Structure 1
Amino acid sequence: MQAKFAPVFGLLLPALVFLPLLAFLPFEIHGGGWGLIANFFGAALRPSLTPSLLASACSGIAITLAVALWSWLLSLVIGIGAGLLSAPTVSEAFWGCRWPADLLRRLLALPRSLHELLWGLILLQGLGLQPVVAVVAIAIPYGALVARVVSDQLESLPQAPFQALRVAGAPSPAALLTGLGPSLLPGVLSYGGYRLECALRSATLLGVFGLGGVGADLRLSLQSLQFHEAWTSLWALALVMFLLEQGIALLRRRWWQPGAVVGQRGRELLLLFVVLLLLLFPAAQLLDLQWQVLLGPWHWPMDQQIFQWQAWWLPWPQLVSSTLLLTVIAALAAFAAAPLLLLLFSPWALMQPLLRGLGLIARLLPPPLTALLLLFVLKPGLLPAALALAFHNAGILGRLFLEGLEAQDPRPEQALLAAGVSSRKALLMARFNGLAAGYLAYGAYRADVILRETVVVGLVGAGGLGGVLLEALSSFAWADVLPVL
């Protein structure tokens, strides 16, 4: 019995991080901004509906969607190609050895280790303010992430069909496509849909830092305290995110449910692919994409100051420890938020609408904007940065957790309730226990994402490597950028 409960304890132990957060919170609060916080959330009920602002919000949403669409499709092309080439199975089939795939896998770790915001700021220095910068900045790390997932999924598939075709004399490309392609497709499509949601959030985030779209409108509205205007853009973005999530969920249920017609699924998939390709043309015209700038002269600073050795003498222990502390606090709080709320406010089925609404708001607000709101009531430092990252990622993890609970078999919980067990214990022993292992694995992956996201909250004085990097990039201090990277 003890071994059975161990995964459940793994879900609940991270909630201990809220104890030190609650202990330090009273010392970090200052008394001037509660009215602004109330005005911000009160403005959600009364967004501005002036025609000019609505037109501006629609224009910003269209630009953000265009950036997300182009960067998403480009990342899939890069990721699927690089994922196949970095799979040892493919490498052995084509070249008879594994080392090319192993080398490529290690090289792909470099682009995905940098947040898309960093890629955007770096490309911005070299290419100037170009729409193609936002597209490429998202496509590079996302392509590397997709490549890792494709490679891992390809290696986890049963290899017997592929090996049988190879023994029968089939060429390597045909054997891969026939033997492994059908089994690989569901995972690629499911993960590809998730990356589209991520691309929309990343495009909004890059807009916050000056690369256009709805994110730029949001930051200007918040900085000028025009909360009614900010909520006009936020509600428009929320509608787009909701429709996107529901559309992806509908396609996933329709295509991968038991008994789905393979031929019909293939025709619908081909139709969707054609529609997406057709949407690329108006999206490119809207953004005025000029791909030739990638081949033109890059304006890098070529003076000798870039090689100053004194720039490498930074307080590395303090910077690294601050970054890791921020990551651990935010990751634990984000991981534990949904399970803790469901246990405190049971029955969980009645809490679902509220949690889904909170999760949508959490995913809607980029961490920098949440951090700016927290500065109305908290002192600059690590705490507002950690809370902003935790809030945003709790929305993402909470959605996954609720979907996992709904997918659990309800009969064990019903049997425990019929036996007189309380609703909280039944939820913990039946549904939480069955979900724990998968949720723990995804939480570990999300911690890696939060580590990269620490750079986006450097503007609130959180310290760490992200703050140094943002300051160096904004002041063109390339001698300080290189050692941090």
Structure 2
Amino acid sequence: MSCIRGIIKPQRRRDWRFGRVFAIVLGAVGWSLYAAGVFRGDLVNAGGWGLVGQFLAAATRPEVGAEFLLLTCDAALKTLAFAAVGTFFSLIVGLVGGIFCSEVWWESVLGVGFGVPWLVVRGLLAIPRAIHELIWGLFFINIFGLNPLVAVLAIAIPFGAITAKVFAEILDETPRQPMLALLSSGVPPLSAFLYGLIPLAFPNWLAYAFYRFECSIRAAAVLGIIGAGGLGYQIYLSLQSLRYEEMWTLLFALVVLSGCTDLWSGLLRLRIGAPSRLDLNVLQVKSVQGGNSDRVLSGDRAIQFSLFAVAALLLFSFWYVQADFSKLWMPRTGELLLGVVEDAFPPDFSQLGQLFILCSQTLAMSILAIAFAGCGGIIFSFLAANNLLLAGGILAAGRNHNRWWGIGILVLSRFFLLFTRAIPAPIWALIFLFVLFPGILPGAIALGVHNLGILGRLMAEVTENLDDRPSKSLTALGASGAQVFLYGVLPATMPKFIAYILYRWETCIRATVIVGLVGAGGLGRVLTEQISSFDYPSVVATLLCFICLTFAVDMVSAALRRSLFSS
């Protein structure tokens, strides 16, 4: 009896925590809807429906003239090149920063414990991670002008800090037994670290590197909106001039580029045994089993071909971008940076009250966006999973099943998720501003649609990697498809789904800046205006508020994950 009580009490505590968190979430969503003005005033601009009709009709007749197709090809190659070069530098930053951010480095190699030095390194990398690449791009435009170097640095700096954090977590979660065996044999700590830990972490590093490359393509498209060039720039010009046929051609090119990268990444991850782009083991990144490192480092031809293709792509990208890296160490660059720093301090907090209001709007926008993206992502993730509705899948096993019906739903769902995540959130915001008045609601919907595509694909991979034995047992016992789904699939997937939603919320708060650029409200709008008018003291004050808000969301997200998933 005491054993039963020991089992029931933790379960009751867990159920109570879920109920409490659910109530908090509902309250936050309700407050966000109120802040967005959903319960008061007119939100819809009825005069914009005609433009929406023209925009949708243009999808059936995209511009296919030879001259414009050449322009589209050049823009796509430029976006790809920006993403490749930016990812290259972000991985260098991530590799170095990840090692110095990891607990295992300080404990096992330096033998000093992860105290103040570890906190200092993590703190230094947390600041660039909190600032969106668009803000970095606007800042570097003021320093370098419309130079390709702007897009490269704007991707490399924040993505490098993000990669360092993930690489450090992968290192800390990698099994340490081989390294400890080397240490006990008298091998120096640094050699034991390099030969006993790095090879085991490398497959997951490689998998995440390709995921980061996918993100870089989307970032390169966003940076085009501020004049960096590429598909984003051309899409923005076409939309501003209402040339919808040209815009659809560019959008299809962006979807094809993202789709090819997605396919390449998926095939490579399958070969190295890392089936998920970002594997969250509820609270932590789960490392690939060490046995797969041999395939990566020594023999698989498909992996070797991919690495060769990456090298060729990098050489082409550096040549195609033609970024003038000498500007980084030119005296004039140092003078401009020093001038910006002198102009920016002390920060101007005279509008602090207004900044607090904008912080609340930004927070409301992110909550609405992630709530929409989370609910939509869960629904479409099941439709896009290849082990549910297809013949032989979990929900089709042992039942009369139309094979083509399952294939059709799978293809349409995957295309929908690809399309929504390939199109940058500012473009979605501009489209929704056709029929919605400016404010945080169109920004929230735009971010929600974009993140729905990202979450839906990540969640689909969770479902595809499920252990199907419980579902098969339920089917063998005569359970219906609905019962198998409710008792065999949903409980196994929801913990990671919630972890992904909370993870994307941390990313979503940063992305509110990019929809603010096109008039969607929040801190992003005022920050864009301040940078454009060279009001650097106000920029610093706004950035400090934005960074504090980002850190607060990170802490709340981490606390929610601990509350939900701790025993």
TM-score, normalised to structure 1, is 0.90
Question: Is 1:225–2:257 an aligned residue pair?
Answer: no
Q: Aligned with 2:529: secondary structure?
A: helix
The Cα offsets for residues 159-213 of structure 1, whole Å up to 9 and x where unpaired, read as 2321221232212232012211222112111111110100110001101221100
Query: What is aligned with 2:427?
Result: 369
5+ residue gaps in structure 2? 1-7, 275-288, 391-405, 544-567
- In structure 2, do the counterparts of structure 1 residues 168 and 260 end up closer, same or farther at CA, with 3 Å as the change threshold? closer
Query: What is aligned with 1:215?
Result: 232
Query: What is aligned with 1:394?
Result: 452
Question: Is 1:34–2:72 an aligned residue pair?
Answer: no
Query: What is aligned with 2:322?
Result: 288
Preserved contact between residue 344 and residue 536 of structure 2 (Cα < 8 Å)? yes
* Deviation of 1:5 (Å): 8.0
Q: Aligned with 1:28: secondary structure?
A: coil
Alignment of 1:134-173 (within 5 A): 134-173=151-190
Query: What is aligned with 2:284?
Result: none
* Deviation of 1:279 (Å): 2.8
Q: Distance in 2 between matches of 1:448 and 1:361?
A: 22
Q: Distance in 2 between matches of 1:143 and 1:303?
A: 23
Query: What is aligned with 1:454?
Result: 512
Q: Which amino acid aligns with 2:412?
A: L
Q: Which amino acid aligns with 1:235?
A: F
* Deviation of 1:484 (Å): 1.1
* Deviation of 1:51 (Å): 0.3
* Deviation of 1:255 (Å): 2.3
Q: Aligned with 1:32: secondary structure?
A: helix
Query: What is aligned with 2:470?
Result: 412
Q: Which amino acid aligns with 1:105?
A: R
Q: Aligned with 1:56: secondary structure?
A: helix
* Deviation of 1:241 (Å): 1.2
Q: Aligned with 1:430: secondary structure?
A: helix
Preserved contact between residue 462 and residue 493 of structure 2 (Cα < 8 Å)? yes
* Deviation of 1:373 (Å): 0.6
Question: Is 1:63–2:95 an aligned residue pair?
Answer: no
Query: What is aligned with 1:464?
Result: 522
Preserved contact between residue 203 and residue 292 of structure 2 (Cα < 8 Å)? no
Preserved contact between residue 268 and residue 306 of structure 2 (Cα < 8 Å)? no
Q: Which amino acid aligns with 1:216?
A: Y
Question: Is 1:318–2:360 an aligned residue pair?
Answer: no
* Deviation of 1:265 (Å): 5.9
The range that moved more, 142-151 or 462-471, is 462-471
Q: Aligned with 1:408: secondary structure?
A: coil
* Deviation of 1:263 (Å): 5.1
Q: Which amino acid aligns with 2:229?
A: G
Preserved contact between residue 48 and residue 228 of structure 1 (Cα < 8 Å)? yes
Preserved contact between residue 183 and residue 192 of structure 2 (Cα < 8 Å)? yes
Query: What is aligned with 1:196?
Result: 213
Q: Which amino acid aligns with 1:475?
A: S
Q: Distance in 2 between matches of 1:33 and 1:60?
A: 29
- In structure 2, do the counterparts of structure 1 residues 348 and 279 end up closer, same or farther at CA, with 3 Å as the change threshold? closer
Q: Distance in 1 between matches of 2:159 and 2:541?
A: 24
Query: What is aligned with 1:242?
Result: 259
Preserved contact between residue 165 and residue 175 of structure 1 (Cα < 8 Å)? yes
Query: What is aligned with 1:433?
Result: 491
The Cα offsets for residues 437-482 of structure 1, whole Å up to 9 and x where unpaired, read as 1221121111010010010011344432222111101111112101
The range that moved more, 381-390 or 8-17, is 8-17
Q: Distance in 1 between matches of 2:231 and 2:186?
A: 54
Preserved contact between residue 382 and residue 460 of structure 2 (Cα < 8 Å)? no
The range that moved more, 199-208 or 125-134, is 125-134
Q: Distance in 2 between matches of 1:413 and 1:5?
A: 23
Q: Distance in 2 between matches of 1:92 and 1:64?
A: 41
Q: Aligned with 2:47: secondary structure?
A: coil
1:331 to 339, 354, 370: 370
Question: Is 1:87–2:102 an aligned residue pair?
Answer: yes
The range that moved more, 46-55 or 177-186, is 177-186
Q: Which amino acid aligns with 1:326?
A: M
Preserved contact between residue 375 and residue 384 of structure 1 (Cα < 8 Å)? yes
Question: Is 1:266–2:305 an aligned residue pair?
Answer: no
- In structure 2, do the counterparts of structure 1 residues 194 and 10 end up closer, same or farther at CA, with 3 Å as the change threshold? farther
Q: Distance in 1 between matches of 2:435 and 2:183?
A: 65
Alignment of 1:3-42 (within 5 A): 17=29, 24=39, 27-42=42-57
Q: Distance in 2 between matches of 1:154 and 1:93?
A: 12
Q: Aligned with 1:376: secondary structure?
A: coil
* Deviation of 1:312 (Å): 4.0
Q: Which amino acid aligns with 1:292?
A: S
Q: Which amino acid aligns with 2:69?
A: L
Preserved contact between residue 384 and residue 410 of structure 2 (Cα < 8 Å)? no
Query: What is aligned with 1:442?
Result: 500
Q: Distance in 1 between matches of 2:343 and 2:190?
A: 50
Q: Distance in 2 between matches of 1:25 and 1:266?
A: 63
- Which of the pair has the greater relative contact order for Cα pairs under 8 Å at 6+ separation? 1
5+ residue gaps in structure 1? none
The number of residue pairs the alignment matches comes to: 485
The Cα offsets for residues 412-447 of structure 1, whole Å up to 9 and x where unpaired, read as 345545656554443232212111112211211110
**Identity over aligned pairs, percent:** 35
Q: Distance in 2 between matches of 1:194 and 1:137?
A: 18
Preserved contact between residue 62 and residue 246 of structure 2 (Cα < 8 Å)? yes
Q: Distance in 2 between matches of 1:155 and 1:305?
A: 41
- In structure 2, do the counterparts of structure 1 residues 378 and 135 end up closer, same or farther at CA, with 3 Å as the change threshold? same
